[in-house]
Structure 1
Amino acid sequence: MTTHTITLLPSGHQFQCSEDESILKAGLASGLFMPYSCRSGVCSTCRGTIKEGKVDFGNVHPNYLSEDDKRVGKALLCSAKPLGDCSIEVRELDPAEAFPVRKLPCRVLQLERLAPDVMLMTVGLPANEPAVFKAGQYVDFVLKDGTRRSYSIANVPVTDGVRQVELHVRLVPGGRFTEHVFNSMKLRETMQLEMPLGSFYWREQSDKPMIMLASGTGFAPIKSIIEYSIERGNKRPITLYWGGRTRACIYMAALAEKWAAEHEHITFVPVLSNATPQCNWTGRTGFVHKAVMEDFPDMSGHEVYACGAPIVVESARHDFAAQCGLPEAEFYADSFITEAERHKAAA
């Protein structure tokens, strides 16, 4: 298979990529730390601009990469494949910031239902192989047939590595893996995982106020970031918005309320989009990202960390920049994609 030279701008870093391989995959394999999250052509984290050369944009749904985007050279690098040598503008990350990705065996240690459709799953790692990660990153479970399921890490990283990983698993009706987690998974069951993954993590060196936006189990990596920032003694203002359909979706509200009560720099704003009479709800309602915009009409001096359903993340990405002046470089995101959504995005 023919290979081509990919040059990243403005760094000038170069690597080889074959015509049957995504530019992102080849770049990561070469040791560069390119931004990415879902690797499914949905989250837009890996978006770059083709400055020279041509690419096969891949089978990306127009919701995530329009024909207008393609005409100006925008590409999702997890899907794009080179048709010749290319120069691509992309917001690279410092390779020194990346931890090596490892495959590890793990064992189920805890299963605790936090809501009717949310399970807290704790898995243990080998005692002699603690894992390092950045607050906000995720793991992949590698199933026996080679398919993967991605879940964000909810616990706090430790310098010398953790021996347990906390995950928040949402039940997807008909989902092969989540149905197993909720209905038949046993304690001590063994699996294989790969970690750490993704470029969604806390930028500790910044001094900007932080807006945390979570929908559903998108709270998991936000929990990791906030608890780690508290542990580090960081006092940057944090405003956490957590959106769900009903009160049960805000499944760790007591913990978020505790953060806000104990730390003056933390504010918690839960938002329900479909509150029922049973919720007995007197708080904010509507779309969670709209609540953020109401409170922060000017985001030009902020950082945003957004995690959850793709529609929430992409609406926030677009509206915060277009209407609230948030710099594109200050929006950090991770979209939670189900296997069904992956197939839909590729359709």
Structure 2
Amino acid sequence: MSIQCKVKSIEPLACNTYQILLHPESPVSFKAGQYLMVEMAEKDKRPFSIASSPCRHEGELELHIGAAEHNAYALEVVEAMKAALNDNSHIMIDAPHGDAWIQEESERPLLLIAGGTGFSYVRSILDHCVAQQRENPIYLYWGARDSRQLYAKQELLEIAKAYSNIHFIPVVEETADNWDGKVGNVLEAINADFDSLQDYDIYIAGRFEMAGAARELFTQNKQARSDRMFADAYAFI
């Protein structure tokens, strides 16, 4: 369904990464883990995960968009958002979309995996679980090029400190002298940390090749059930 939105704010989260708050003219009903499409033209709709959770988004939709100069697909969307904010005009979205939402009926432990700004997808799920006071064990692994891209690290550390069932494990590819966390590939870190993933519901957001690699690695090596692995990429690969 196409919905007209005001751009309420645009704030930098990290280098070339922006938090964008949209205020739709009519309420958008969605599930944690779904995404929306920004309508750039009649046949040009671009998907972005909704970072806010459905139980406490207060009528606004939050996006996290990584828009480096070489990524015209996302950069053009950010520029359109900035223009709408400056002109007090509107942008159009089509929402909701996606089948990789949280499985509300499941009491299995959760493994949330994010690569880069794929964090916006798992953030919605995590915030929903916190708001619903779910007691399932939750492990959130966030992989990034370097620690500067982990723009919500402090927020996640505070959540993990406040809730004994939530565990946050950041993984960076390039390390600085003061980094004391995991270094390398986020999937390899998970592979090393778990003996089995048979009992887990696994939610993944990142590049399509990451989702494909995760499915192959975890089903073959860690007894993960492919029917309990959820990612929007699985509709296409």
TM-score scaled by structure 2?
0.91
RMSD over aligned Cα atoms: 2.2
8 Å contact 1:172–1:179 — kept in the other structure? no
Q: Per the alignment, do residues 133 and 264 of structure 1 end up closer, same or farther by CA in structure 2, a change over 3 Å counting?
A: same
What does residue 157 of structure 2 align with? Answer: 257
How much has 1:158 moved relative to structure 2? 3.5
Q: Per-residue deviation at 1:148?
A: 1.3
Counterpart contact for 2:65–2:74, Cα < 8 Å? no
Instruction: Please tell me the residue identity of whatever aligns with 1:116.
Output: C
The answer on 1:309 being equivalent to 2:207 is: yes
Offset at residue 177 of structure 1 (A): 4.7
1:183–1:115 Cα change, 3 Å: farther
The answer to whether the aligner puts 1:326 opposite 2:224 as a matched pair is: yes
Contact 2:14/2:148, CA 8 A, preserved across alignment: yes
Q: Which of 130, 146, 155 is residue 52 of structure 2 equivalent to?
A: 155
TM-superposed CA distance for 1:214, in Å, is 0.5
Q: Which residue matches 1:164?
A: 60
Deviation >3 Å, runs of 4+ = none
Aligned counterpart, 1:137: 34
Q: How does 1:176-195 map to 2 (within 5 A)?
A: 177-179=74-76, 181=78, 185-186=82-83, 187=85, 188-195=88-95
Give the superposition deviation at 1:183: 9.0
What secondary structure, in the 3-state scheme, does the structure 1 residue paired with 2:232 have? strand
Q: Deviations along 1:218-249, whole A, 9 cap, x unmatched?
A: 11011111111111111000010000010111
Can you list the C-alpha shifts for 1:133-185, whole angstroms capped at 9, x where unaligned?
A: 000000001113531111000111039x8521000000142405514525981
| Mapping for residues 239-254 of structure 1, pairs under 5 Å | 239-254=139-154
Matched residues in 2 for 1:265 and 1:293: separation?
Answer: 20
Deviation at 1:276, TM superposition (A): 4.2
Q: Distance in 1 between matches of 2:45 and 2:134?
A: 35
| Structure 2 CA distance for aligned equivalents of residues 228 and 171 of structure 1 | 26
Distance 1:293 1:178, change over 3 A: same
Does 2:73 match 1:173? no
Cα gap change, 1:190 to 1:166, in 2 (>3 Å): same
Residue 123 (structure 1) aligns with: 22
Letter in 2 for 1:288: V
- Seen in structure 2, the aligned counterparts of structure 1 residues 189 and 276 have a Cα distance that, compared at 3 Å, is farther
1:173 and 1:179 in contact (8 A); partners too? no
| Equivalent position SS for 1:185 | helix
> Structure 1, residues 28-65: CA drift from partner, whole Å, max 9, x if none?
xxxxxxxxxxxxxxxxxxxxxxxxxxxxxxxxxxxxxx
Work out which of the residue numbers 294, 299, 303 in structure 1 matches 2:197.
299
- Please give the alpha-carbon distance, in whole angstroms, between the structure 2 residues aligned to 1:124 and 1:253: 26
**C-alpha contact (below 8 Å) 2:66/2:74 kept by paired residues:** no
Specify the code of the residue in structure 1 equivalent to 2:49: S
> Which residue of the other structure, out of 114, 131, 140, is the alignment partner of 2:13?
114
1:49-64 equivalent positions in 2, closer than 5 A: none
**What is the TM-score when the length of structure 1 is the normalising length?**
0.63
| Correspondence list, 1:255-294, <5 A | 255-277=155-177, 280-294=178-192
In the TM superposition, what are the counterparts of 1:186-265 in structure 2 within 5 Å? Answer: 186=83, 187=85, 188-265=88-165
User: What is the DSSP-based 3-state SS (H/G/I as helix, E as strand, rest coil) of the residue aligned with 1:275?
Assistant: coil
Counterparts of 1:183 and 1:137, CA distance in 2: 22
Q: Distance in 2 between matches of 1:331 and 1:176?
A: 27
Look at both structures and tell me which one has the larger radius of gyration over its CA atoms. Answer: 1
Equivalent pair of 1:214/1:241 in contact (CA under 8 Å): yes
Distance 1:272 1:249 in 2: 9
- Aligned mates of 1:149, 1:184 — CA distance in 2: 13
**Stretches of structure 1 lacking an aligned partner (at least 5 in a row):** 1-101, 337-341
Aligned length: 232
Find out whether 1:105 has 2:1 as its counterpart: no
